[in-house]
Each structure stands twice: as C-alpha cells, then as structure tokens.
C-alpha cells in the first residue's frame, strides 16, 4: 500500500490547467491521499473542489475565476518587473 501526497503551488496548478484543463486538474488533485497547499491560491482551488455545497458547474466556474485572476496577476507582475 502506498501513500500519495502532493504539494500544490501556483505554477503547478496553472501548468496542469493549461495542459489538461479543469478535468485534468480535478483528476490530479483527486488522485492523492494528502494535499499540501503552499499558499492562498492553491488552498482556494482545493477548498472549492471539496466544497459539497457547490455542484460541478459552480465549482468549475469558481475555479476558473480563481485561475484567471492568478494568471492576470502574474502577467501584471511580469510586465512591471
């Protein structure tokens, strides 16, 4: 029996989303026993996925907004540096 843990950070989440979409991100996060979030962004993504109050389209819409905001923020930082 093996124990799977994954550390999630901004780059990891955005890379998976860009390459595999929301389904890929959901599968990646769901295929683990323990998730270690490195910041508020990754915490919000995981928390949204496990929120039982939201249906699937609501979860995906919320995750998409969180990711778009993070990508926009990263792009602005890159331009201003």
pLDDT tier for residue 5 given thresholds of 50, 70 and 90: confident
pTM of the model: 0.82
Is residue 6 over pLDDT 80? yes
| pLDDT tens column, 31-72 | 888 899 999 999 999 999 989 999 999 999 999 999 999 998
Is residue 16 over pLDDT 60? yes
* CB within 8 Å of 31: residues ≥ 6 apart: 4
Q: What is the pLDDT of residue 32?
A: 85
Q: Is 48 exposed, middle or buried (0-12, 13-18, 19+ CB in 10 A)?
A: middle
Instruction: Report domain extents, the chain.
Output: 5-80
């Amino acid at each position: 029996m093996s124990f799977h843990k994954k550390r999630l950070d901004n780059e990891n989440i955005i890379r998976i989303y860009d390459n595999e979409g929301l389904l890929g991100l959901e599968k990646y996060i769901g295929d683990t026993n323990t998730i270690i979030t490195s910041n508020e962004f990754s915490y919000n993504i995981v928390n949204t996925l496990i929120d039982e109050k939201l249906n699937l389209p609501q979860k995906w819409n919320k995750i998409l907004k969180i990711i778009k905001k993070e990508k926009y923020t990263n792009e602005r930082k890159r331009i201003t540096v």
